[in-house]
Amino acid sequence: MNISSPLFCHLFIGMTFLNPFVLFGLAAAAIPILIHLLNKRKLRTIDFSTLAFLKELQRSTMRRITVRQWVLLALRTLLIVMLVLAFARPALHGSIGTAGAHAATSVVIILDNTASMALSNERGTHLDQAKERARQIAELLEPQDDAAVIRLGDLPLPAPPVPVHDPAFTLRAIDGTLISPRYRTVDDALRTAAAVLASSKNANKEVYVLTDGQRSTLRRPDEWRDAPPEPLFGPDVRFFIAPSCVTPAENWGIRSVTMPDGLLLPGKPVTVRASVVNYGTRRTENHIVTLSSGGTTLMQKSLSLDGGESGTAEFTLTPERAGFISGEVTLESDPFEADDVRSFAFHVPERLRIVLVTPDETAARYITAALTVPNTLSAAGATEVRRLSVPQLTAAGIEDAGLVILAGVPALSEGQRTLLRSHVVAGGAMIFFPGQDSTAGTYRYLESFGLPPGTAVQAPADAPMRFGAADLEFPLFRGMFDGAQRKERALESPDIRTAYSLPARKEMRTVIALSNGVPFLWIRELSRGRILGFAVPARPGWSDLTSAGLFVPLLYQSALYLSSLASLEAMSASYTAGEPAEFPASLLVGRGALSPELTLTDPERRPAPLRSYARTNGDGSITRILTAPELPSPGLYRIVAGRDTVGMAAATMDERESESALASVSESASGAERLGALPANVTVLAPDEPLAESVRKSRYGTELWRGFALAALLLGLAEMLIARERKNA
């Protein structure tokens, strides 16, 4: 008879033995009985007449000795039985104990290695604690069991992992687990685990979730509400969820670093804003926020925030040169350092590359002179203006220009409209001037930018139109006047006899309005780019703007502002470490940006090739996109053409890793239950609860070996006392 079979192991209802082969030792219980029988064998009797008087005494004492012998026999037999049963490790099954507890088991270990697992407590980092618990699980594996390890940082996987029967392989996978910058959830891993177990033929199936217990790691914040159930797991799957964190970390983090619209020029200050969040539960006073650039600390600010509150630290940074400027905003050290640093970069143009498209020679002379003549804002050679005729407006003609000026261009072909729209949508800019011969049928191409064509409005001969309201706080006016002038006087208005008036649209912002409400200078945002328009031509006739002192600084500031926006838009783009990235071509500067071979270097200066493709947008415009398979770590990345840096971008850790709120026991169990687990099959362990012991109880029930060992000890003591009494007698 096979004593390891369920029939033999279940000697009692609901009981099994973890070491059933030890039950062979029950045969030893016969030893005291055999000894007793051997001592009782019949001997030949020889009568002595002198001892006859003792026979009567013998009969009375032998009764007592016989009783004592039977008691000792029973005690010794039970002692051996209790010892054997203790070593056989009997267990009483609970609600999930079954007769198949010794059948083959498929085990899936979900190991959280996201960034928040780098936090630590008195027992070490959460990742080290999770790995130690995973090793304990691997040590419980028997030869017939198989196991698979799913690390959150490896998701999504191209295919579900195949469980293996090699515990050493499982241990190597556990020991080789490192912190990953990717944000993934336990919910993602459970879906993969369901696919693994779906193909398992084993009778028992177990899923272990080893995590820090962070609420945002269990499930994405937007998935907690009204998530429909998905029966991915069968009712026979057992779950063990083992969080390692007891209390949420008191953590501060930098949510974002931005720069408001402004002018990027050497020697001109720009504003850097850092959004900071107290992710903890307690108020913190005077937390230090630091701005640095080039390894030099520039400014420090302090913030005091309640738990869950956010605030803004605003700094001033003055670029001393043209080119790429990079820096960091850092927080003073706290338990979670991964979100205490935020890199940023922007580009101060060395030269404004402008394409001027116009059939009007007079307008071309005025615009070129205004943009290229040295003045207080620009040095000689700081602007490069390349003039094109309307037929020359092609992709090759504008591919290295950030700004395109259309002056008196009455019409464009369909292909040219799509080209300009793609240029603006990708982050480029455009300035529009009407022509002298504007009619109701001209400038239909403005419809491609969401702007219906306007009409020419004439003023009375004796009452020219002049400036009305002007938004002098608009960024392009920065540097044109000092603070006192801005408050004390308005812009000097030219005399305007005719103006090209566009219908009012909510998407169009008026920067300068005429006294009759006609927009003189307006701007329209379109995706990542901008279109700025004037109401008068860039030549005498409709107005005397070109001879007014305002024309040169206004046009140059407009060009500088629009060129700066491309860099600021690139800086504001968000890239997440551990994820694939797509960089728009507008991020690149210089002629090297046209190189077909571009390389991305990470913060450790490791190069990786970039691929590019042309993306067709919903409106038909085309955007050139550069793709990287993955950004391996937070920090500053450079896009390189040959030896030249043509672009920079910062990657950050996913903000959800900073959210330190912990999930409750019911929330921890709800993820598995929503995917089909029976509530009785889900065990959520306390951080200090022994995992191996909990697994044994769940698999086999409550072990009784301690009770049998205690019974053996008591039986042994009783046997010693009775045996000693016999000797004394």
pLDDT of residue 192: 96
What ranges make up the beta strands (E) of 633-689?
Answer: 635-641, 644-652, 682-684
Are residues 316 and 273 both part of a single domain? Answer: yes
Are residues 599 and 675 both part of a single domain? Answer: no
pLDDT of residue 722: 79
Q: Could you tell me the CATH number of the domain that includes residue 148?
A: 3.40.50.410
C-alpha span between 350 and 383 (Å, rounded): 9
Instruction: Assess if residue 262 is contained within a domain.
Output: yes
Instruction: Assess if residue 713 is contained within a domain.
Output: no
The parent domain of residue 299 ranges over 250-348
Query: Which of 10-19, 173-182, 258-267 has the lowest average pLDDT?
Result: 10-19
Instruction: Assess if residue 727 is contained within a domain.
Output: no
pLDDT, tens digit (0-9, with 9 covering 90-100), for 102-159: 568 899 999 999 999 999 888 899 999 999 999 999 998 988 899 999 999 999 999 9
Are residues 463 and 398 both part of a single domain? Answer: yes
Report, as an integer, the average pLDDT of 662-686. 91
Are residues 370 and 447 both part of a single domain? Answer: yes
What residues does 316 pair with on adjacent strands? 271
Q: Could you tell me the CATH number of the domain that includes residue 512?
A: 3.40.50.880
The answer to whether the beta carbons of residues 210 and 134 sit under 8 Å apart is: yes
Per-residue confidence at 498, pLDDT binned at 50, 70, 90? very high
Per-residue confidence at 504, pLDDT binned at 50, 70, 90? confident
Report residue 532: phi and psi, to 5°: -115, 135
Per-residue confidence at 242, pLDDT binned at 50, 70, 90? very high
Task: Kindly state the percentage of the chain with pLDDT values over 90.
Answer: 47
Instruction: Assess if residue 204 is contained within a domain.
Output: yes
Are residues 28 and 152 both part of a single domain? Answer: no
**Does pLDDT of 31 surpass 90?**
no
pLDDT of residue 136: 92
Are residues 84 and 183 both part of a single domain? Answer: no
Q: Tell which of 569, 602, 625 closes a domain.
A: 569
C-alpha span between 162 and 60 (Å, rounded): 77
Are residues 257 and 281 both part of a single domain? Answer: yes
pLDDT of residue 305: 96
pLDDT, tens digit (0-9, with 9 covering 90-100), for 697-725: 766 656 677 788 888 888 888 878 877 76
pLDDT of residue 583: 87
Are residues 360 and 459 both part of a single domain? Answer: yes
Closest residue by Cα to residue 415 from 453, 445, 443 = 445
Instruction: Assess if residue 721 is contained within a domain.
Output: no
Q: Could you tell me the CATH number of the domain that includes residue 301?
A: 2.60.40.10
Burial degree of 298 (CB within 10 A; 0-12, 13-18, 19+): middle
Closest residue by Cα to residue 560 from 383, 324, 299 = 383
Instruction: Assess if residue 708 is contained within a domain.
Output: no
pLDDT of residue 95: 40
Per-residue confidence at 726, pLDDT binned at 50, 70, 90? low
Are residues 243 and 260 both part of a single domain? Answer: no
**Does pLDDT of 203 surpass 90?**
no
pLDDT of residue 489: 52
Are residues 405 and 534 both part of a single domain? Answer: yes
Q: What is the mean pLDDT of the chain?
A: 84
Domain count, the chain: 5
DSSP secondary structure of 255-314: EEEE--S----TT--EEEEEEEEE-SSS-EEEEEEEEEETTEEEEEEEEEE-TT-EEEEE
Question: Three-state SS across 501-539?
Answer: ECCCCCCEEEEEEECCCCEEEEEEEECCEEEEEECCCCC
Per-residue confidence at 376, pLDDT binned at 50, 70, 90? very low
Are residues 334 and 361 both part of a single domain? Answer: no
pLDDT of residue 252: 95
pLDDT of residue 98: 43
Instruction: Assess if residue 656 is contained within a domain.
Output: no
Q: Tell which of 46, 78, 96 closes a domain.
A: 96
pLDDT, tens digit (0-9, with 9 covering 90-100), for 294-328: 889 999 999 999 999 999 999 999 998 888 999 99
pLDDT, tens digit (0-9, with 9 covering 90-100), for 427-477: 889 999 999 888 777 899 999 898 988 899 999 988 999 999 988 888 888
Instruction: Assess if residue 655 is contained within a domain.
Output: no
Q: Tell which of 554, 569, 584 closes a domain.
A: 569
Q: Tell me if the pTM is above 0.85.
A: no
Are residues 441 and 374 both part of a single domain? Answer: yes
